[in-house]
Amino acid sequence: MILEVEGLTKRFGGLVAVDGVSFEVRRGEILGIIGPNGAGKTTLFNLISGVYKPDEGRIVFDGEDITGKPPYKIARLGLARTYQVVKPLNELTVRENVMVGACFGREYLDLDSARRVADEVLRMVGLMEKAELPAGKLNVPEKKRLEMARALASKPKLVLLDEVLAGLNPAEVKGMLKVIEDVRKRGITILMIEHLMHAIMRVSDRIIVLDYGKKIAEGKPEEVANDPKVVEAYLGDPSLVLR
C-alpha cells in the first residue's frame, strides 16, 4: 500500500465536506475518484496534500503518518499534486516552473540537475518548444500539461491528478491519456479525480465514488458503474457510461 486513508473527516462550519472516508491505494495502480459536484473530491485531495488539516482520521503515505503535516513536507516525501484550477507561475518561464517542482520535490535537486530533469519531463509532456515562454502565455491545455510536468519533475511516488482532462477537446484528451499511461509505466502510482466518465472508466484499475462527502462505492470500473447506489447518486443511466 502506498497510501492508506482512515476515517478522514473535514467539516466547514455545519457542512461535512468529507465524512469518514477510508480507502487504500495500491502501489502502481491508477485509482479513480468520481462523484457529483460538491461530493468532496477536491477537499479530499486538499486533505491528503496537507492544504487542509483533517478534523478526524489518519493518512499514511508510504508507511509514514502524514496527518497534519505541512504541504511542503508531504511534497518532499514524494506526493505530488495538480490543481483543478491551474496554478502556473505566470511570470516564470515554462522551464523554470518545472524546475521548481524538481528543486523542491522528493530529490531536492540543485538548479543544474533540476534543469536537466525539467527538460526531460517537458519532452515527455510535449512542451519542450515552449520551454522559454512565460507560463502565463500558454493556453489552457498547455497549462494542464505544465501542471502535470511540474508534478512529475518532483519524481513523486504518488501523484494526485485533479481533473487534468477537464476543458480539453477530444484530441487533447487523447494526448493527456497517453501521458497518464506513460506516467504509470514509470512506476508512479496515480490517484485521479475526473468527470470525464469514458476516460476515467478506461484508464482506472479501480474507482471509488463519493457522494455528500461519503464513500458510497468502490471497485472495478464496470462494478461501480452498475452499482445501484452509484447509479442513483450520480450516473443516471448506466448504459450511457459503458457505451
* Closer of 56 and 107 to another protein (Cβ): 107
SS3 call for 72: helix
Give the cell for residue 100: 521548481
| Residue 70 Cβ vs another protein, minimum distance, rounded to whole Å | 8
Let me know the angle formed at the C-alpha of 210 by 155 and 189, rounded to the nearest 5 degrees: 20
* Closer of 150 and 215 to another protein (Cβ): 150
* Closer of 160 and 233 to another protein (Cβ): 160
* 106 contacts: CB under 8 Å, gap ≥ 6: 75, 76, 77, 78, 154, 155, 156, 157
| Residue 129 Cβ vs another protein, minimum distance, rounded to whole Å | 17
The binding site for another protein (CB under 8 A) comprises 49-51, 70-72, 75-76, 80-81, 83, 87-92, 96, 99-101, 103-105, 108, 110-111, 114, 150, 154
Q: Which helix (H) or strand (E) holds 46?
A: helix 41-48
| Residue 201 Cβ vs another protein, minimum distance, rounded to whole Å | 28
Q: What is the CA 141 to chain-centroid distance, rounded?
A: 16
* Closer of 7 and 70 to another protein (Cβ): 70
* Closer of 91 and 237 to another protein (Cβ): 91
- Percent composition of the chain: helix, strand, coil (DSSP 3-state, to 5): 40, 25, 35
Give the cell for residue 178: 497517453
Q: What is the CA 53 to chain-centroid distance, rounded?
A: 18
| Residue 143 Cβ vs another protein, minimum distance, rounded to whole Å | 12
SS3 call for 145: helix
* 16 contacts: CB under 8 Å, gap ≥ 6: 9, 10, 213
| Residue 86 Cβ vs another protein, minimum distance, rounded to whole Å | 9
| Residue 180 Cβ vs another protein, minimum distance, rounded to whole Å | 20
* Closer of 101 and 221 to another protein (Cβ): 101
